[in-house]
């Protein structure tokens, strides 16, 4: 195989297998090449990944060592994308009765979800995460986008138990927006004892739902390593019960009467600035 062909094949492998450790010998056998040639190829790919702002190749030595692709977005590209999200969400046509915003089209757009997943994977790349958790139903596409870039499974919390999922653990929690007592359940088989969990959700007001998920995780002795939300509401009337989280967009004003919405970047950009 020519080097140019091998470079394309290797690049495709890493882009479709993020955070997956692979041995150098695997590529040497697959492409019938020497380890030294593969190593040179990896240096070229790593250089281009970093130059294009899509991540880097991390090499580890030793008997259990290998190479893994760490997807990281360039900070200027992330900032540009978040401002684009702000512009999309402040469209007055999105305003619904009650002051809510229509977001289903964004959550159903695979291109936008892929970018959001890449952004959160950039923020959480340094964390030891075992699983991505969300609550049904709108957060599912977002959770899968993040999980793909971190190469982790998704666990979905539901409002009602399903007979096909076996025995479940359930808790009651107070909804942050309606202040109503609600129930959420999680199948016992879906989460290992003591797992490290990243919670993601599409929208957060006071944070009651996310707080409920953290309480549910306590039943599994699981640890919340990160919380990411696509959009948060800046509502002074609701006391925020979640503090340690990252958001892409903050919705500061929804004026139903005048059909006006104000959005600004969330706290993820300042967080990434501290990591530079």
CATH number, domain of 27, equals 1.10.10.10
Host H or E run for residue 146: helix 140-150
pLDDT over 70, % of the chain: 97
Question: How many whole angstroms separate alpha carbon 22 and alpha carbon 204?
Answer: 38
Asked which of 48, 71, 94 is the last residue of a domain, the reply is: 71
Beta bridge partners, 251, equal 233, 263
Which phi-psi region, left, alpha or beta, contains residue 185 (left: φ > 0; alpha: ψ -120 to 50)? beta
Q: What is the pLDDT of residue 237?
A: 53
Contact 120, 228 (CB under 8 A): yes
Contact 66, 22 (CB under 8 A): yes
Across the range 161-170, mean pLDDT stands at 86
Residues 84 and 66 in one domain: no
Question: How many whole angstroms separate alpha carbon 124 and alpha carbon 224?
Answer: 12
Q: What is the pLDDT of residue 159?
A: 86
The count of other CB atoms within 10 Å of the CB of residue 81 is 17
Residues 146 and 250 in one domain: yes
Question: How many whole angstroms separate alpha carbon 184 and alpha carbon 175?
Answer: 11
Stretch among 21-35, 139-153, 156-170, 203-217 having the lowest mean pLDDT: 156-170
Residues 116 and 26 in one domain: no
pLDDT over 90, % of the chain: 81
Q: What is the pLDDT of residue 134?
A: 96
- Distances from the Cα of 201 to the Cαs of 109, 144, 210, 230, 241, in angstroms? 16, 11, 8, 7, 15
Could you tell me which of 167, 122, 126, 164 has the C-alpha nearest to residue 146?
Answer: 122
Question: How many whole angstroms separate alpha carbon 75 and alpha carbon 58?
Answer: 19
Q: What is the pLDDT of residue 57?
A: 97
Kindly report the CATH number assigned to the domain that includes residue 139.
3.40.50.2020
Residues 17 and 116 in one domain: no
137 prior amide bond cis, ω within 30:
yes
> Is the confidence at residue 236, as pLDDT, over 60?
no
Q: What is the pLDDT of residue 235?
A: 65
Q: What is the pLDDT of residue 65?
A: 82
pLDDT in tens, 104-122: 999 999 999 999 999 999 9
Stretch among 34-38, 166-170, 198-202 having the lowest mean pLDDT: 166-170
Give the pLDDT band of residue 37 (cuts 50, 70, 90). very high
Residues 141 and 252 in one domain: yes
Asked which of 71, 91, 125 is the last residue of a domain, the reply is: 71
Give the pLDDT band of residue 191 (cuts 50, 70, 90). very high
Q: pTM to 2 decimals?
A: 0.92
- Rounded to 10°, the helix 35-52/3-16 angle is 60
Residues 25 and 111 in one domain: no
Residues 147 and 92 in one domain: yes
Q: What is the DSSP string of 147-198?
A: HHHHT--EEEEBSS--GGG-SEEEEEEE-TTT--EEEEEEEGGGS-TT-EEE
> Is the confidence at residue 173, as pLDDT, over 80?
yes
Per the structure, the complete domain to which residue 12 belongs is given by 3-71
Q: Quote the number of domains for the chain.
A: 2
Q: What is the pLDDT of residue 123?
A: 97
Residues 66 and 175 in one domain: no
Stretch among 34-38, 78-82, 162-166, 217-221 having the lowest mean pLDDT: 162-166
Q: Which residue has the higher pLDDT, 98 or 151?
A: 151
Residues 239 and 121 in one domain: yes
Q: What is the pLDDT of residue 211?
A: 92
Residues 38 and 86 in one domain: no
- The tally of CA atoms less than 13 A away on the side-chain side of residue 7 is 12
Give the pLDDT band of residue 199 (cuts 50, 70, 90). very high
Residues 212 and 127 in one domain: yes
Residues 145 and 257 in one domain: yes
Asked which of 71, 94, 121 is the last residue of a domain, the reply is: 71
The count of other CB atoms within 10 Å of the CB of residue 262 is 14
Beta bridge partners, 100, equal 96
pLDDT in tens, 133-147: 999 988 999 999 999
């Amino acid at each position: 195989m020519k080097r140019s062909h091998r470079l394309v094949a290797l690049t495709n492998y890493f882009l479709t297998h993020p955070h997956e450790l692979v041995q150098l010998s695997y590529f040497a056998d697959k492409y019938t090449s020497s380890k030294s040639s593969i190593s040179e190829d990896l240096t070229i790919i790593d250089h281009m990944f970093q130059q294009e702002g899509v991540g880097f190749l991390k090499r580890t030595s030793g008997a259990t060592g290998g190479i893994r692709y760490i997807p990281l977005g360039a900070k200027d590209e992330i900032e540009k994308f978040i401002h684009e999200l702000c512009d999309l969400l402040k469209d007055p046509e999105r305003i619904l009765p009650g002051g809510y915003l229509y977001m289903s089209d964004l959550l159903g757009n695979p291109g936008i979800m892929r970018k959001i997943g890449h952004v959160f994977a950039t923020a959480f790349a340094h964390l030891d995460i075992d699983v991505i958790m969300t609550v049904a139903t709108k957060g599912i596409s977002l959770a899968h986008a993040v999980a793909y870039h971190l190469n982790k499974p998704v666990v979905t919390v539901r409002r009602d138990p399903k007979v096909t999922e076996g025995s479940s653990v359930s808790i009651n929690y107070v909804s942050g927006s309606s202040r109503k007592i609600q129930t959420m359940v999680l199948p016992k088989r879906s989460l290992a004892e003591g797992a490290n969990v990243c919670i993601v959700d599409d929208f957060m007001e006071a944070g009651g739902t996310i707080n409920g998920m953290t309480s549910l995780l306590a039943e599994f002795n699981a640890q919340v390593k990160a919380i990411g939300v696509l959009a948060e509401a800046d509502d002074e009337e609701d006391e925020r019960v979640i503090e340690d989280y990252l958001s892409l967009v903050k919705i500061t004003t929804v004026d139903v009467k005048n059909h006006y919405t104000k959005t600004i970047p969330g706290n993820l950009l300042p967080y990434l600035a501290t990591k530079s």
